[in-house]
């Protein structure tokens, strides 16, 4: 997509990896997990040690983040919402439904996964935090697009058609406007193969605070299985939305008390 600064990206990817593994890692492990050359990993890790963000255990040759990184993002939870609880709530949806569950936000013309919890049922769906699918081509995206004007949606659809990486998305995007309208009317989105063939997902928009960016939650896997579980999934997602709403209300009370 857009040009991004490689070492900046890798720095963040490295800390995301640690947040995934939550244990000391060797250069080799980082190298393999992030798919970058070993020499680059060595240099990056060394730099982060000298900046005080990573600690090196010379004996075991492992690296581990220092407490310092906790300052980067801890505050935002209190500010925005209780992000620490969201993963647990998503896991609950994944557990109840058996399907992969994600939290997504808009990024440009894409829907980007913030948190992903894999379900028990097998899929080939790519669900990892940071992944991007066009807003126009996935159920989480349609939810987010209900917040936009018709003109804005059209514009996004047009950009998607001209920029999409594959023919499948280009084709899906052509039906996006009606999908967004449908989502608007019935309160949830249901994709059936538009994102990836044979995969489907149901999504809803999550309540968001004024000024904060919108997020949607989705749940899905093989489309036929999802169709059979429709009511179960919708129920779980609505419960999630309800819990999030409660968290927001708590935050607002705290804010003004």
> Site residues (CB under 8 A) for a copy of itself?
1-12, 15-16, 18-19, 22, 43-44, 46-53, 55, 57-59, 65-81, 83-84, 86, 103, 105, 107-108, 112, 114-115, 128-130, 211-213, 215, 251, 254-255
Q: Given candidates 19, 38, 79, 85, which one binds DNA under the rule CB under 7 A?
A: 38
Q: Given candidates 13, 16, 33, 40, which one binds DNA under the rule CB under 7 A?
A: 40
Name residues whose C-beta falls within 8 Å of residue 172's C-beta, 6 or more positions apart in sequence. 134, 136, 137, 194, 195
- The interface partner of residue 211, options being a copy of itself, DNA, none and the CB cut-off 5 to 8 Å by kind, is a copy of itself
Name residues whose C-beta falls within 8 Å of residue 143's C-beta, 6 or more positions apart in sequence. 183, 188, 189, 203, 204, 205, 216, 218
Which range of residues in 12-20, 32-40, 175-183, 234-242 is near DNA by CB under 7 A? 32-40
What's the start-to-end Cα distance of the chain, in Å?
44
Distance CA 226, CA 122 (A): 12
Distance CA 180, CA 194 (A): 13
Nearer to DNA, 58 or 197 (CB): 58
Q: Given candidates 13, 17, 24, 26, which one binds DNA under the rule CB under 7 A?
A: 26
Quick check: 159 binds DNA (CB under 7 A)?
A: no
What's the closest the beta carbon of residue 213 comes to DNA, in angstroms?
Answer: 17
Quick check: 46 binds DNA (CB under 7 A)?
A: yes
Q: Given candidates 19, 42, 70, 74, which one binds DNA under the rule CB under 7 A?
A: 42
Count CA atoms closer than 13 A to 64's CA, side-chain side.
Answer: 9
Nearer to a copy of itself, 51 or 227 (CB): 51
Quick check: 107 binds DNA (CB under 7 A)?
A: no
Quick check: 6 binds DNA (CB under 7 A)?
A: yes
Which strand ranges, in their side-by-side order, compose the sheet holding 132-134? 132-134, 110-117, 100-107, 215-222, 199-205, 189-192
Enter the tokens of residue 4. Answer: 């991004």
Task: Tell which residue, 143, 155, 231, has the closest CA to residue 184.
Answer: 143
- The interface partner of residue 197, options being DNA, a copy of itself, none and the CB cut-off 5 to 8 Å by kind, is none
Name residues whose C-beta falls within 8 Å of residue 159's C-beta, 6 or more positions apart in sequence. 109
- The interface partner of residue 152, options being DNA, a copy of itself, none and the CB cut-off 5 to 8 Å by kind, is none
Torsion sign (Cα): 71, 76, 79, 81: negative
Q: Given candidates 13, 16, 17, 36, which one binds DNA under the rule CB under 7 A?
A: 36
116's enclosing H/E stretch is strand 110-117
Binding site residues, DNA, CB under 7 A: 3-8, 10, 26-28, 31, 36-40, 42-46, 59-61
């Amino acid at each position: 997509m857009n040009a991004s600064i490689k070492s900046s990206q890798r720095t963040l990817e490295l800390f995301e990896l640690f947040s995934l593994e939550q244990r000391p890692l060797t250069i080799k492990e980082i190298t393999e997990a992030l798919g970058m050359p070993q020499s680059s990993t060595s240099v990056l890790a060394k730099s982060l040690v000298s900046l005080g963000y990573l600690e090196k255990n010379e004996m075991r040759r492992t690296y581990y983040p220092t407490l310092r990184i906790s300052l980067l993002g801890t505050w935002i939870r209190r500010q925005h919402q209780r992000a620490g609880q969201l993963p647990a709530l998503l896991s609950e949806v994944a557990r109840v439904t058996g399907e992969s569950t994600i939290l997504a936000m808009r990024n440009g013309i894409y829907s980007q996964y913030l948190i992903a919890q894999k379900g028990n049922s097998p899929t080939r769906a790519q669900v990892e935090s940071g992944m991007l699918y066009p807003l126009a081509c996935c159920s989480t995206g349609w939810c987010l697009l209900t917040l936009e004007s018709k003109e804005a949606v059209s514009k996004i659809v047009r950009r998607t058609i001209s920029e999409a990486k594959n023919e499948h998305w280009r084709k899906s995007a052509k039906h996006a406007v009606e999908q967004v309208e449908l989502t608007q009317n019935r309160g949830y989105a249901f994709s059936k193969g538009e994102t990836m063939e044979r995969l489907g997902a149901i999504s809803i928009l999550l309540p968001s605070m004024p000024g904060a960016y919108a997020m949607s939650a989705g749940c899905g896997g093989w489309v036929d299985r999802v169709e059979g579980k429709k009511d179960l999934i919708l129920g779980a997602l609505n419960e999630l939305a309800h819990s999030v709403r409660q968290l927001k209300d708590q935050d607002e009370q705290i804010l003004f008390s």
